[in-house]
């Protein structure tokens, strides 16, 4: 199995952390979607990462779909999402909030990189959406009992929160004030201290426009 993409992508990293937790061995192919765009496109016509190439050559794209496959592969007892009910819906909502914030943050970053000027209303809308998503997840972290949402080890929602928060903190330091986001910052520190996170980390490097 090969995981394509660099670990400064929160989408690639959330798959990589899950692979570490599952104990699945894989080859990491750290292609950049810009510098290695043509290589990435051979596996994903959208020229996006992550892409997971299975041993029989099948290629999975989209982090949520990849994790869905991996949960199925390890089986219900080791899946990193509650299997049903309110706990599953809440976890999926947290994941949607954070991956949505990451989608916004990534496309806003590209817009700034490739555009000579952006309309101020667009800038404040994007920045506002990122800020309010972070504030909402900070409140959820603060209301949680225990270190993680589903027991003793991180689930897909815990992982998405930590990976996306780190990406936003590095790509938009002005939008991430640790003092204003205390519960989220504690969550990130707890996650980053785990070997399953530190084994797959890379400081954000902006693409060259």
Ligand X SMILES: N[C@@H](CCC(=O)N[C@@H](CS)C(=O)NCC(=O)O)C(=O)O
Q: State the residues that interact with ligand X by CB under 6 A.
A: 9, 11, 33, 47-50, 62-64, 99, 103, 106
For 60, the 3-state DSSP assignment is strand
**Minimum distance of ligand X from residue 50's CB (angstroms):** 6
**Nearer Cβ to ligand X, position 85 or 114?**
114
**Nearer Cβ to ligand X, position 93 or 139?**
93
Q: How far apart are the C-alpha atoms of 100 and 91, rounded to whole Å?
A: 14
**Minimum distance of ligand X from residue 163's CB (angstroms):** 10
**Minimum distance of ligand X from residue 95's CB (angstroms):** 10
Q: Quote the tokens at residue 207.
A: 């693409």
**Nearer Cβ to ligand X, position 47 or 112?**
47
Q: How far apart are the C-alpha atoms of 148 and 32, rounded to whole Å?
A: 31
**Nearer Cβ to ligand X, position 107 or 182?**
107
**Minimum distance of ligand X from residue 33's CB (angstroms):** 4
Question: What element of type H or E holds 27?
Answer: strand 27-29
Q: How far apart are the C-alpha atoms of 32 and 186, rounded to whole Å?
A: 30
| Greatest extent of the chain over all pairs of C-alpha atoms, in Å | 51
């Amino acid at each position: 199995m090969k995981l394509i993409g660099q670990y400064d992508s929160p989408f690639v990293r959330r798959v990589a952390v899950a692979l570490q937790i599952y104990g699945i061995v894989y080859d990491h192919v750290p292609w950049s979607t810009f510098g290695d765009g043509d290589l990435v496109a051979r596996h994903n016509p959208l020229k996006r990462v992550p892409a997971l190439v299975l041993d029989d050559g099948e290629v999975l794209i989209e982090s949520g779909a990849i994790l869905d496959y991996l949960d199925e592969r390890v089986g219900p007892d080791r899946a990193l999402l509650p299997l049903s009910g309110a706990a599953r819906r809440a976890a999926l909502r947290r994941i949607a909030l954070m991956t949505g914030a990451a989608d916004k943050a990534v496309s806003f970053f590209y817009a700034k990189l490739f555009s000579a000027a952006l309309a101020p209303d667009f800038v404040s809308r994007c920045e506002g959406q990122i800020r309010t998503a972070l504030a909402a997840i900070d409140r959820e972290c603060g209301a949680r009992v225990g270190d993680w949402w589903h027991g003793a080890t991180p689930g897909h929602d815990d992982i998405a929160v930590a990976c996306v928060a780190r990406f936003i903190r590095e790509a938009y330091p002005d939008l991430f004030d640790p003092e204003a986001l205390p519960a989220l910052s504690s969550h990130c520190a707890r996650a980053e201290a785990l070997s399953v996170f530190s084994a797959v980390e890379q400081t954000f490097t902006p693409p060259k426009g």
